[in-house]
Structure 1
Amino acid sequence: MTSSGAKPIDFAGRAASSPQFYALYAEGMKLVETTAAYLDGPGRAAAKMLSPLGAALYSTESIRLTTRLMQLASWLLLQRSLNTGEMTLDQVVQERRKLRLGDGDDRIPHGWKELPPGFRDLAAHTDRLEARIRKLDDSLMKTAAAQAPEIPENQVIAQIDLLQTAFARR
């Protein structure tokens, strides 16, 4: 609250329920579908043409990519549930803590250039989407923390402190 009693504008909350969020949601879900189709089709065929090192890297990075996309899709679904009223902010924050969004570490493993261009493009798109989601998530988590009610004082401990204070005076 400001000194005048007015509430500050919740830009993060507005962003999460804006048309831009729904565009981000659609992009994320489409990326999940596109990646799955690629990995099951052209990616599988391309992986058969790779060297043993490239094939092992492709396998590892495919698992990493699908895991990241599932985390991003879960985050998007949580936000959509909040926006539609299916979940409360507290529920979303609790579930959000179970997710692992990337830390922005853009490491490029040895042999990356050997991977098929289609796969590298999907990974780059996922990196960009993840960066945008992380930025929005940071804002939303700060907003949730600011809106969190104060934890009430433990009444038992407060009474014990009062008793100790009272008996210490004697």
Structure 2
Amino acid sequence: MVAEARAAGVPVTRVWAGDRLAWPGIEARVWWPARVIRAGSVPNNASVVLTVDVDGLRLLLLGDVEREAAAELLRALRTEPALLADGFDVVKVAHHGSANRDDELYAATHAPLALVSVGADNDYGHPAPSTVTALRGDGFQVLRTDQSGDIAVLGDHGGLRYVTSR
């Protein structure tokens, strides 16, 4: 992937917890990885997690983190109470909706919309039915790319809307 990105002229940079990224209208903060976790899937638990503000739309992008990294992430997010108190508009569900999740993290986000990026008929059975049920139980509207196709989220904090390709 890195070689293909570089061949296409796309810059590739490693990021770590605490890094900040910005483009016109977009601010992102890296929350994970903060350290190596040897439990669970080491590559998944090393996944990049970002909070992103796009012209007032607040997103939490959870990469592929599993239960172990998610618990550490929640502890980190709680160091800034205003971040969780204000809530997010959208959560990109970790690891394609795997059952290996931290429900407390999802509940703490107060987001109305959960997006599951997942291929149709994947060999892993993602998203796990228990994950979808838990998200809906926490008040999320759950959209899945295997059912809705491409999903575009529009609006700003508190004024959320979306469109899908299906």
Tell me the TM-score normalised to structure 2 length: 0.23
Greater relative contact order: 1 or 2 (C-alpha under 8 angstroms, separation 6 or more)? 1
Between Structure 1 and Structure 2, which shows a larger proportion of strand residues? Answer: 2
Tell me the TM-score normalised to structure 1 length: 0.23
